[in-house]
Structure 1
Amino acid sequence: MTAKARAAGIATTDGAYLGWSAHSDGSDRRATNGPVLTFNAAAGPAGVDVSAWNGPVDWATLHSGGAQLAYIKATEGNSSTSSIFTQQYDASHQAGLIRGAYHFANPAVSTGASQADYFVAYGRGWAPDGTTLPGVLDIEYDP
């Protein structure tokens, strides 16, 4: 567990929340070899958040391992879209996960309104169908 994670109140690897992941090398950055379950199963549903950095995801294995939901990065700032968003979004749903899209905000490049418009234009699949989560914002201190 990293000092950064401990400072955020995360005491154990399975106590992390969406957006945090802990790795065997002690880092708290995303691994490029796949997503990490990031919800404490006792506290709520198990889920992952993924982006193009994760590459191809074995959604069936994640689902059989207990993952129930996934957030997939769709956009960043107001000029970047994930090259594999559609594949990840559709494949997670086909494997039985409830899925949603997220936008990685970069306050240094444009206004929040501009980025929200970009996310709405390039994210997709929002529907009141019981299998789609609402869009979310990932905003970090220093993207």
Structure 2
Amino acid sequence: MLRTLVALCALALMSCGGPSPGPLPPGPEAAGRAIATPHPRFADHDPHAWDGEAPWSYPVHGIDVSRWQGAIDWATARAAGVSFAFVKATEGVEELDPMFRTHWEGAGRAGVARGAYHYFYFCAPADAQARWFIANVPRSAASLPHVLDMEWNPRSPTCRHRPDPATVRAEAKTFLDILERHYGRRPVVYTTVDFSRDTGIERLPGTEFWLRSVAGHPRETYPGARWTFWQYTGTGRVEGVPGPVDINVFRGSLASWTAWERSAL
């Protein structure tokens, strides 16, 4: 998620707290969320020469966004082939992404399937972080499963702690369990190659995974791992989105996407 630059900037600009603005109302949804253009092939600011199974062999693509994408023309992005979006909501126990509400409502109006994600902070309890997410993300029948983003942040100015693998997995389970009870579906876990290697996060049972792999297919970078989403670039170019953006694919056919999305509603 452009994590190196984005995480540094986000933490550097992190607010010092303050009261939550309260939960966001669900907002309008476009009628019918049919798939956008199947098998879109987006441009890239820093393209990778894919060998073998390329990302565009998958029919369903989407983006993940935060404040760093700025104002997005969601209708244009959907017309370009964006079928789903994961929107950054919260981080730790006090940061709410200032563009969350704008992105959340814009995606909904355009008929883009949407979920929210939380960036985990290793110096705060998982239950407190879950409560912060719940305080800011609506319980909407039209949402996709939400996401727990777990990755190391070696440049954080406030927390570079790296718990042992068992602690990481236990904290993740606590967060996932709380959100599952509240929203009715277990969140997806997003992770990176080094975090996966260091923690064995994919050992969590009953959990779907979203894997970052920008220079190779997940079967190469995460041998034997199960996954539902694959983030294949952090420098994508999508009409309607100013500047670079992360692009992802859903693992499966159009029919399996429809079934998966409906099971979330």
With normalisation by structure 1, the TM-score equals 0.67
Identity of aligned residues (%): 34
Counterpart position of 1:40: 55
**Aligned: 1:77 with 2:74:** no
Give 1 or 2: higher helix fraction: 2
Q: 1:117 aligns with which of 128, 131, 134?
A: 131
- 1:41 Cα deviation (Å)? 4.2
Q: Which runs of 5+ in 2 are unaligned?
A: 1-39, 49-53, 157-265
- 1:78 Cα deviation (Å)? 0.4
Secondary structure of 2:57 counterpart:
coil
Number of aligned residue pairs: give it: 108
Q: 1:128 aligns with which of 129, 141, 145?
A: 141
Change (3 A) 1:139 1:50: same
CA distance in 2, matches of 1:94, 1:41: 26
Secondary structure of 1:68 counterpart:
strand
Alpha-carbon RMSD across the aligned residues, in angstroms, is 2.5
Encode CA deviations 1:81-101: one digit per residue, 9 max, x unaligned.
011211110101111100111
- The structure, 1 or 2, with the larger RCO (C-alpha pairs under 8 Å, 6+ apart) is 2
Secondary structure of 2:82 counterpart:
coil
Counterpart position of 1:138: 149
With normalisation by structure 2, the TM-score equals 0.37
**Structure 1 stretches (4+) deviating beyond 3 angstroms?**
none
- 1:128 Cα deviation (Å)? 2.9
Q: Which runs of 5+ in 1 are unaligned?
A: 1-13, 15-21, 27-38
Letter in 1 for 2:80: G
CA distance in 2, matches of 1:139, 1:113: 15
CA distance in 1, matches of 2:89, 2:59: 24
